[in-house]
Copies of this chain bind each other. A is one copy, B any other.
Amino acid sequence: MSQSTYEKLRTELREIGTLGTVSALVGWDEQVMLKPGGTEFRSQQGALLARMIHERFTSKQLGDWIGELEGSTPENEDARVILRELRHDYDRATKLPSSLVEELARTTTLSQAAWVEARSKKDFATFSPWLTKMLDLKRKEAACLGSASGHPYDALLEGYEPGETCESLTKLFDAMKPRLVALIERTADSGKVAPLEILERRYPAAAQEKLAREAAAAIGFDVNAGRLDISVHPFCSGIAPGDTRITTRYDEQFFGDAFFGTLHETGHAMYEQGLPKSTHFGTALADATSLGIHESQSRLWENLVGRSRPFWSLFFGKAREAFAPTLDDVSMDDWMFAVNDIRPSFIRTEADEATYNLHILLRFEIEQKMLKGDLNVADIPKVWDETFKRYFGIDVPDISKGCLQDVHWSCGLIGYFPTYSLGNMYAAQFYRAATRAIPDLESLIAKGEFSPLLSWLRANIHMHGRRYRGRELAQRVTGEDVSPNALLDHLEARGREYYGV
């Protein structure tokens, strides 16, 4: 392998990556800092950066370097991985004609605006022409990208969860569904109802923020290399080496949103902070494995740790103090039940950790048909509501709580949803492996010692970047192929504990 070509390639990747960090910062600022007067121009800043990055990443020169380096196998394992993943990304990026990329970008902006309007008016007709157009463009995109199966959904999925297909995910979801549905039915029939009122008392935003910051720092968020701010839609952005930022929002009438949301985003953030960016910035080795693996890190901290008894044996006292006297009459048992509630609900983002997966199954089923053309856009609301009734046993009250609730389709993010449930599976599987590797894990957590768990995640998951596909990583870390078993075992244990079922 030519060292000088490799060095030129690395320099180019570093510069493209640096432009990417600038673009990420501009995006963060837009969500968190920008006032309305700056919005219009901001879209020009974002578009220019996106175009420059795309042009450099799809350049013939870059392709020539990759081709030249592929001619001789690099001795270095890291370089092999970097080249392999670069080929993967370069081919995908260059397969799309600029005209399609631009039309997708333009349509996304308009389609998203139409979706916002449609949701607020509860009027599907306002959005349906845009969804039709978006599906058409996504089919074209899938046709350009191609897939081994020939299924367009697989071509899109590859962009979010490399290596997974409809077939592989369907197997996992089919294995999950019966036990999950049975658990949810048992909890509903148990006659027990979680004391949710506890979480709906008055929680001043300042006290919430203080507790959320304390929790984020306690579990391991490096506050010297990142920020916690407020935005309408909470997110995490691993902007640049040494600069990872998360956001949340405070609802003074509900405890759960900000606190668990912060744990969730902190999980994402600690993954970003754990990626080997100082050595491998600009290459796939400094990137997250996949969306599913990213989500596994957020879910692990939010749910496996953050809703556990050891965690709250440490934090319940702090919460009582932070919101005194609001929680003075609440027992630890009632609190634990409230934060481990399982019950059907309409909005995915507000769902508990068990029923959440049903929301994903529903979307995975519908969007495959949508993309294939087996489901007409006009029929989506009806099919959504019927499928929802079948899964959840309740009637969707209106379309804003039905098929118009998520932003994803309006942005063309088709194939994204299944990675959320895959993340839940990975999370439970990784956590189980961690409890094996760190025998006294739960008593350490109860003492506030989170670093053994974080170090284990760093060493086993974070440090690898995109060295392995998600499934291969899980196999290496846990000794088992990915499966819903750990997740189901975990959820069933919570069912037994709180619902006695």
**Residues on A facing B (Cβ under 8 Å):** 15, 18-19, 21-22, 25-26, 29, 33-42, 44-45, 48-49, 222-227, 239-243
Contact = CB atoms under 8 A, between A and B. Distances in A.
A287 to B, nearest CB: 16
A48 B223 contact: no
A240 B35 contact: no
Given A25-B29, A26-B25, A29-B29, A243 B48 contact: no
B18 A48 contact: yes
A22 B49 contact: yes
Nearest to A37: B225
A23 to B, nearest CB: 9
A19 B48 contact: yes
A11 B225 CA distance: 38
A235 to B, nearest CB: 16
Contacts of A42: 240, 243
23 contacts: A15-B48, A18-B44, A18-B48, A21-B41, A22-B26, A25-B25, A25-B29, A35-B223, A35-B224, A35-B226, A35-B242, A36-B224, A36-B225, A37-B224, A37-B225, A37-B242, A38-B239, A40-B242, A41-B240, A41-B241, A41-B243, A42-B243, A45-B240
A45 B33 contact: no
Q: Of A18, A29, A37, which is in contact with the most chain B CB atoms at under 10 Å from its CB?
A: A37
A401 B40 CA distance: 46
Contacts of A19: 48
| Copies of this subunit | 2
A48 B16 CA distance: 10
Contacts of A241: 38, 40-41
Contacts of A36: 224-225
Contacts of A240: 38, 41-42, 45
A38 B241 CA distance: 7
A226 B41 contact: no
Contacts of A18: 44-45, 48
Contacts of A242: 35, 37-41
Cβ-closest 4 pairs across A and B: A37-B225, A38-B243, A37-B242, A38-B242
Contact of A225 (B35, B223, B225): B35
A28 to B, nearest CB: 9
A33 B225 CA distance: 11
A37 B227 contact: no
Contacts of A223: 35
Contacts of A21: 41, 45
A44 B243 CA distance: 13
A36 B59 CA distance: 35
Nearest to A34: B243
Q: Of A34, A48, A241, A243, which is in contact with the most chain B CB atoms at under 10 Å from its CB?
A: A243
A223 B37 CA distance: 9
Q: Of A29, A33, A38, which is in contact with the most chain B CB atoms at under 10 Å from its CB?
A: A38
